[in-house]
Structure 1
């Protein structure tokens, strides 16, 4: 609990003020938590880590050659330092011993003749006990404050609001992958620092900073995080970012107390949210399926849940990519992926639309939110939310595809909008793979292609229309297929196509002739052009290559 004092701190005390560091100066940051006196030959079994060992050298007066081995044995046991008084039994310390101490970073202190061991013992023990008492007093104060927060029904925000004054720094509570749930005292400069935060998603880069007392191994520790654990579940991190001074053991101890309190708050909130979420999820499922009753009743019921569906709306569906079955999580593993996924979406949606309806299911999250004042507002908003939820892959979140519906002008249109969003997500994944964000209005012909249930029929159409361009997968065929697609997309504008593909005009004319010999006179036959364009769109849809 208490860190004690460093060897450097001990040298500033009056009883050791005249001591000389004759070796191991690189280890003056070692911590003293105990004191011992060596005046018997078999001291090693009684030596403990973090001790300051006082000696006159009496046990070694006849065997000074053993001092090198003694230094190595003491360093191996984690001794803090050795303080030696010369002149009575040992006149000087061997050079080999001092070199070994330098190598092992074990401080060797030379005490003056006037130094009394009892003065050193009394003063250092008093200082250590005072530090421990101060730590206990601070811990009790933190305990009292946090208990009052719990008794007053405060949440994570209340905890983070109380801690900066107690810790002299900014405090955050995050999810297991670094999404900030509550914060207080964190400066704007830190929030804009890319070393601390992902500037796109706002995620705290928890993987860059050490946990608990391990953070104190750094030369100037300014960031420390402690896990918030309850039972077998990891609920996140509580993070201290110090502005004015390095973090010490007492700060870590206080943060651990706060983490235990945060675990109680989160566990309580999750229990309440589980009941409310089940009820809300069931009702939203009925609303999406058109089983929520007449529109007026649905509007009123949603209002009691904090949702506003009496306005222009869009439905957003975020579908997680399939993943092979995994073993049962071990103790301490993260919460189930779908729970973290739903929590992340809930957090980013609430920032933008507090009255949006949102629910998480086994493989998808559904959001019914306001459409915004213009046609493009909701598209930009959804892409921004996807960027926040995706972040930089923090926490191992599973990839997902997102679909956005057309605007639903009334509650009756919500079921149709839901089907549109699901279709957009499915087609977007086929077209662009994981991470796709697709708007139903932008699907175009892909929407019609996705409705064909028989993939074999699509492949047959693609092969019949494109011939060798569909059947062969070599580099030359890929190049010709790209040329054809760009040419058709530019309405047979040869000059523009040559510019886009960085071809000479005559080179492109040659390629067009070759393509017409393979496919037919598509430059003059509009029906053939249409078939070719559709076949190329089929190729672009993932999973439908021959």
Structure 2
């Protein structure tokens, strides 16, 4: 108990505080009576020393030294029985005690020391008993939550109510997972920029805390926690509007998977609060571990489903279609196949495997932000995934891009059977990828054609002439376009070869530009048309 609380006891009613009023928050562990010239060997930190003053030093300097020594030993204070041997606490002792905030009391001689020791000891035992009861109640409530919680938000809510404080969980890099603020829970999906209602401020405050986490000082804290630190008290950051905070790491197999934050405000956590937070962190680690195991099982099933699509082994029976629906695959949907490739040697090292898993997790989160189930598979140094329309590959690449990875994406295809074709597309361009860059199939069509890829050749011709095939007299327009290429885009020679009037040629060229957006003055367009002529001549 604290000295200031002991002053409320009946045995202390007639005691007088004569010095060291700034130290009344000191904790009393025990009450000890010592009347020896040198009491230091007989006292320990947290003791309230009671003395009659019989052996108290008489010289002023010795009195001051004794007060300094007792305070340095960590005593709670000193109570002197007056006026039998000393009429009052000596002035030099009072002056030294005021200087260092060490409480000194004068106790009337007629008050027995036994009544003081008995009452304080009983009070300490009562406090410990209540703490034990409170600890058991907290333990039961956390155990109930551990068995019934559906997610981290339930655990955070329970912990916040038990502590009566703001509590948040976030990933080590700073992403908010769940939060509780003054008795109201807020999930990570609620991200208002700014609200007037106090109970809705936590997302904004969490964002400010994430800014603090980016500081050099905060990185030092995280480094300490990663090195095995059990918890840390983080000083207030007034410039960010943040009070003092307590952070406890959440570990699984020595891997720090999260941070449990508690806002201390002006009221620091006591020992029971800290034990509660640490126990809650263990429960959260168990919950995250279980969720990881379930996610791993779901991922393996998802890998198997996607692999069957990629390899063309999927049989669209009614049961298989239900399974596809569970995994979020739309049989009538339009998909592109993408492959993230790690620039790492195969077989992968432990570090490379960890990097691949991290990338896969980031990819899953992106799909969750899109609001679509992630369909992906991991193999060696590749992460294969289906990207549904209308989402663009650039949306996937932008937050992931790094010099150690590259991304290849196929053309868009519809339905079950087309997934294998899309997979073949993207595999064909893998040898042409450049680390740190994103490429799609259409972009690398020409290099594939030049290497003799028959699929690429057909795709190249189809893409080049598709706008004209659907138009009226499309074949005539295609012949005109090819003749322009054969003559080196010489208009007079082209008209002569086609046996048409130059004005007719001009009319056809206007239609070509309008239908296919062909820029006949563009060097790349001219090259593609020249290449098409040679490919067609090979087929003939």
Q: Give the TM bin, normalised by the shorter chain.
A: 0.5 to 0.7
Q: Is 1:40 aligned to 2:36, yes or no?
A: yes
Q: Is 1:405 aligned to 2:409, yes or no?
A: yes
Q: Is the 8 A contact 2:45 2:73 kept in 1?
A: yes
C-alpha spacing 1:55/1:200, structure 2 compared with 1 (3 Å) = closer
* CA distance, structure 1, for counterparts of residue 67 and residue 247 of structure 2: 36
Q: 1:223 maps to what in 2? A: 245
Cα shift at 1:177:
3.8
* CA distance, structure 2, for counterparts of residue 22 and residue 160 of structure 1: 45
Q: Is the 8 A contact 2:2 2:25 kept in 1?
A: yes
C-alpha spacing 1:364/1:54, structure 2 compared with 1 (3 Å) = farther
Aligned length, in residue pairs: 422
Where 1:141 maps in the other structure, the secondary structure is helix
5+ long unaligned stretches in structure 1: 330-334, 391-397, 432-437, 454-524, 532-546
User: Which of 129, 133, 136 is equivalent to 1:137?
Assistant: 133
Q: Is 1:196 aligned to 2:196, yes or no?
A: no
C-alpha spacing 1:45/1:351, structure 2 compared with 1 (3 Å) = farther
Q: 1:163 maps to what in 2? A: 159
* CA distance, structure 1, for counterparts of residue 178 and residue 249 of structure 2: 15
C-alpha spacing 1:88/1:167, structure 2 compared with 1 (3 Å) = same
C-alpha spacing 1:20/1:74, structure 2 compared with 1 (3 Å) = same
Q: Is the 8 A contact 1:315 1:421 kept in 2?
A: no
Q: Is the 8 A contact 1:224 1:240 kept in 2?
A: yes
Which structure would you say has the larger RCO, counting Cα contacts within 8 Å and 6 or more residues apart?
1
Q: Is the 8 A contact 1:8 1:29 kept in 2?
A: yes
Cα shift at 1:401:
4.8
When normalised by structure 1's length, the TM-score is 0.59
CA RMSD between the two structures: 5.1
Q: Is the 8 A contact 1:172 1:182 kept in 2?
A: yes
Where 2:412 maps in the other structure, the secondary structure is coil
Q: Is the 8 A contact 1:55 1:83 kept in 2?
A: yes
Deviations 1:458-481 (A, max 9, x none): xxxxxxxxxxxxxxxxxxxxxxxx
Q: 1:270 maps to what in 2? A: 292
Where 2:210 maps in the other structure, the secondary structure is coil
Q: 1:175 maps to what in 2? A: 171
Q: Is the 8 A contact 1:353 1:370 kept in 2?
A: no
Q: 2:103 maps to what in 1? A: 108
* CA distance, structure 2, for counterparts of residue 52 and residue 62 of structure 1: 22
Cα shift at 1:269:
2.8
Name the larger-Rg structure. Answer: 2
Q: Is the 8 A contact 1:314 1:405 kept in 2?
A: yes
Cα shift at 1:262:
2.0
Q: Is 1:20 aligned to 2:17, yes or no?
A: yes
Deviations 1:15-38 (A, max 9, x none): 55654262372x444433333333
Deviations 1:503-531 (A, max 9, x none): xxxxxxxxxxxxxxxxxxxxxx9989x99
User: Which of 371, 374, 380 is equivalent to 1:353?
Assistant: 371
Where 1:135 maps in the other structure, the secondary structure is helix
Q: Is the 8 A contact 2:36 2:55 kept in 1?
A: yes
When normalised by structure 2's length, the TM-score is 0.60
Q: Is 1:124 aligned to 2:120, yes or no?
A: yes
Where 1:240 maps in the other structure, the secondary structure is strand
Where 1:355 maps in the other structure, the secondary structure is coil
5+ long unaligned stretches in structure 2: 187-198, 452-520, 528-540
* CA distance, structure 2, for counterparts of residue 246 and residue 422 of structure 1: 61
* CA distance, structure 2, for counterparts of residue 54 and residue 425 of structure 1: 85
Where 2:108 maps in the other structure, the secondary structure is coil
Cα shift at 1:241:
3.8
C-alpha spacing 1:327/1:383, structure 2 compared with 1 (3 Å) = closer
C-alpha spacing 1:362/1:158, structure 2 compared with 1 (3 Å) = farther
Cα shift at 1:66:
3.6
C-alpha spacing 1:399/1:112, structure 2 compared with 1 (3 Å) = farther
Where 1:58 maps in the other structure, the secondary structure is coil
Q: Is the 8 A contact 2:60 2:93 kept in 1?
A: no
C-alpha spacing 1:172/1:216, structure 2 compared with 1 (3 Å) = closer
Deviates more, 1:205-214 or 1:35-44: 205-214
Q: Is the 8 A contact 1:222 1:242 kept in 2?
A: yes
